């Protein structure tokens, strides 16, 4: 079975402004980002797409993933109906950097979450 939910993990080494399609430019801080998604088929292909830097920029996450390094992903068995539940749980633990990011087809506050860099200076 090549389907389910996932949390793709991205890292930005330094702050950057990124244009996210028609939504405009947003400031992304350095640190780790968690993106909640689902794939009803071809989950491995979806994650590979997220890790590729060169691709057509179609979805919100494409704009970030083209600039950030993908560290990996956590895959979770389950149906798409649980994607928003998973996003809500991550929202309890991490900051929502851009309201509505990755949530254009649902009522969630967003599907992208941020954890600041805790490196010693």
pTM over 0.85, yes/no:
yes
Identify the pLDDT of residue 119: 52
- Over residues 43-79, the pLDDT tens digits come to 999 999 999 999 999 999 999 999 999 999 999 998 8
Provide the pLDDT confidence category of residue 116 given band limits of 50, 70 and 90.
confident
Residue 63 CB: number of other CB atoms within 10 A? Answer: 19
- Please tell me the distance from the alpha carbon of residue 78 to that of residue 41, in angstroms, as a whole number: 12
In 3D space, the residue among 102, 75, 73 whose CA is nearest the CA of residue 87 turns out to be: 102
Using CA atoms, how far residue 17 sits from 25, 33, 53, 104, in Å, is 6, 15, 16, 21
């Amino acid at each position: 079975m090549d389907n389910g939910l996932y949390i793709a993990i991205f890292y930005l080494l330094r702050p950057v402004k990124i244009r996210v399609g028609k939504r405009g430019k947003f400031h992304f801080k350095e640190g780790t980002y968690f993106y909640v998604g689902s794939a009803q088929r071809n989950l491995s292909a979806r994650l590979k797409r997220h890790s590729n830097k060169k691709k057509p920029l179609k979805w919100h996450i494409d704009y970030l993933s083209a600039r950030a390094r993908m560290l990996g992903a956590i895959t979770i068995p389950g149906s798409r109906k649980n994607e928003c539940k998973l996003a809500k749980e991550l929202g309890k633990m991490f900051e929502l950097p851009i309201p509505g990011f990755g949530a254009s087809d649902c009522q969630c506050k967003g599907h992208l979450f941020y954890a600041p860099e805790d490196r010693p200076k």
